[in-house]
A and B are shown apart, each in its own frame.
Chain A
Amino acid sequence: MANFQLPAELMQALLEKFPNIEVQENQMVIVSADDLIPFMSEVKENPDYALDLLTNLTAAEYNDHFETVYNLISITNGFDLMVKVKLTDKDNPSVPSLCPLWGGANWQERETYDLMGINFTDYPGHPTRILLLDTFNGHPLRKDFKWEGGRE
């Protein structure tokens, strides 16, 4: 499979600009929640990266933290980049919403909120449930979720 990772020098430039980010071997970038919006605007607006298509936005739950995962693609350059945000507050995981940058984040954030219970701050209005009923209790993709009722 061909490689479409960011070239090393661009990655270096990113590291200089955002010293707090952590880059793993397969180019997964871990960003802190505070840095997320500036970081995303940089890789989106800067023509060197031009990572302009937010393809995927989701979240995963781990024992001691939540992680939101963002996948970006550049249409002009062909690069891809995976960005993660670690949310250590397990009781109230919240992360800035990407809606101001990408309209496409809207539904994906609603879905993530609905199923995983991540709060997106600055979301236009509060994210509402999208797949489940508005009256549904709990967030089913969390590991501690237990379905009460239904078929025996």
Chain B
Amino acid sequence: MKTQTYTLNLGPQHPSTHGVFQIVLELDGETVVKATPVPGYLHRGIEKLAEARTYAQVIPYTDRMDYMAGMLMNWGYVAAVEKLMGIEVPERAEYIRVIVGELSRIASHLIATGAYAGDIGGLTGFIYTFRDREDILDMLEMISGSRMTFSYFRIGGVAEDFPAEFFPAVKKFIEKFPSCCDEYDGLITGNEIFQVRTKKVGVITPEAAINYSLSGPVLRGSGINYDMRKARPYSVYDRFDFEVPLGCNGDCFDRYRIRILEMRQSLRIVEQALEQLPEGPIMAKVPKVLKPPAGDAYAEIESSKGLFGAYVVSDGSPKPYRVHFRRPSFINLGYLGKLCEGWKIADVIAILGSIDIVLGEVDC
């Protein structure tokens, strides 16, 4: 019998492409013959916009990249400018950065976990993780005054010190959160159907993971021990005791599972950072008008999605000459086309969800 493949435009308006992402699928029945990802629907030209702003004015734009973990995006950019100017950040500010950064990471992983459960079809997991994310957003709102786009970091430190009501809130959260993780494990991870849907699906070999520059949970899901916080500690991460969870099969389940394990580790870091939190200033002595010396600098941090890097070129004027962001979601997506081939439509959603993208970041 003569059969024919057909093209299906999955997205950009689709419930589970995590925003306006398009994949053009060539399908044979329900089996994917060829998948072509088409990013760019949310391209706002942040890199170009940054060239017309001062160094400090770029910070709010970085929030709009990975809006699920805005703090970490702030951090990546600020780190590059600080490296360029050679600014030494006060210790208390570093600790505050670690605490808000890890809370942001938990919030981001909660979305990834919940949305993944929703992608697989169990909507209840989605609501559970959002319930707990709300606590984090409340805390971050106490600190920065905003729930999603924080713009909390400053070049040389952070905007405000912790308010008094933050400490009891975070203490309560640290006590409560491990049991929430157990709840996700019970509801989502332990479910047989969830495991059947995710195990052995979308396997990324360690070689392919390195070759395709993947990073974050996607890289570690394939068993490669590379977490920048551990491998090349920046800020004060070398002072905390935490583990880097690794997967062994590189399938969707491993990538999903690593996020839950990472949340537990992030919680440990927050706990230790709060104990060690030193007194002192929260801002380095920085001139009012930032004029970094001519030159360039590239700094990376480990964001929730992977390695977030910022490349800043200065020509000595108050405006950055060129800014480039290495967005982990964008680069992790580069492997999606190959990864989806041969799987069913439902698996495409499962694979895409396991990579955990945020379109603000992909399209920048």
Residues A131 and B43 in contact, CB atoms below 8 Å apart: yes
- In this complex, what residue of A is CB-closest to B363? A131
> Given the complex of chains A and B, what is the CA–CA distance between A80 and B232 in angstroms?
10
Residues A58 and B45 in contact, CB atoms below 8 Å apart: no
Residues A131 and B39 in contact, CB atoms below 8 Å apart: yes
Does B40 sit at the interface, judged by CB under 8 A? yes
Does A31 sit at the interface, judged by CB under 8 A? no
Taking the closest CB of chain A, its distance from the CB of B330, in whole angstroms, is: 7
Cβ < 8 Å to B, chain A residues 44-82: 52-56, 58, 60-61, 69, 71, 73, 75, 78, 80, 82
Known contacts A104-B334, A131-B43, A141-B47: does B226 contact A53 (CB below 8 Å)? yes
Q: Which stretch, B179-187, B192-200, B209-217, B248-256, touches the partner chain A?
A: B209-217
**What residues of chain A lie closer than 8 Å to B334, measured between beta carbons?**
103-104, 106-108
**What residues of chain B lie closer than 8 Å to A73, measured between beta carbons?**
232
Does B291 sit at the interface, judged by CB under 8 A? no
Residues A55 and B326 in contact, CB atoms below 8 Å apart: yes
Cβ < 8 Å to B, chain A residues 124-143: 129-133, 140-141
Taking the closest CB of chain A, its distance from the CB of B323, in whole angstroms, is: 10
Taking the closest CB of chain A, its distance from the CB of B152, in whole angstroms, is: 21
**What residues of chain B lie closer than 8 Å to A55, measured between beta carbons?**
213, 215, 300, 307, 309, 326
**What residues of chain A lie closer than 8 Å to B311, measured between beta carbons?**
56, 58, 60, 69, 71
- In this complex, what residue of B is CB-closest to A61? B322
Size range of the chain B interface in the assembly: 35 or more
Cβ < 8 Å to A, chain B residues 213-263: 213-215, 224-226, 231-234, 238
Interface residue from B234, B309, B313 paired with A1 (Cβ < 8 Å): B234
**What residues of chain A lie closer than 8 Å to B215, measured between beta carbons?**
53, 55
Known contacts A55-B215, A69-B311: does B322 contact A60 (CB below 8 Å)? yes
Number of interface residues of A (CB under 8 A): 35
Cβ < 8 Å to B, chain A residues 77-110: 78, 80, 82, 102-108
Does A13 sit at the interface, judged by CB under 8 A? no
Known contacts A69-B298, A103-B334, A104-B334: does B213 contact A75 (CB below 8 Å)? no
**What residues of chain A lie closer than 8 Å to B296, measured between beta carbons?**
60, 69
Taking the closest CB of chain B, its distance from the CB of A147, in whole angstroms, is: 9
Q: Give 15 CB contacts A-B under 8 Å.
A: A2-B233, A53-B210, A55-B213, A55-B309, A55-B326, A58-B324, A69-B311, A75-B225, A103-B213, A103-B335, A107-B330, A108-B213, A140-B48, A141-B47, A145-B48
Interfacial residues, chain B to chain A (CB-CB below 8 A)? 39-40, 43, 45, 47-48, 208, 210-215, 224-226, 231-234, 238, 296, 298, 300, 307, 309, 311, 313, 321-322, 324, 326, 330-331, 333-335, 363-364
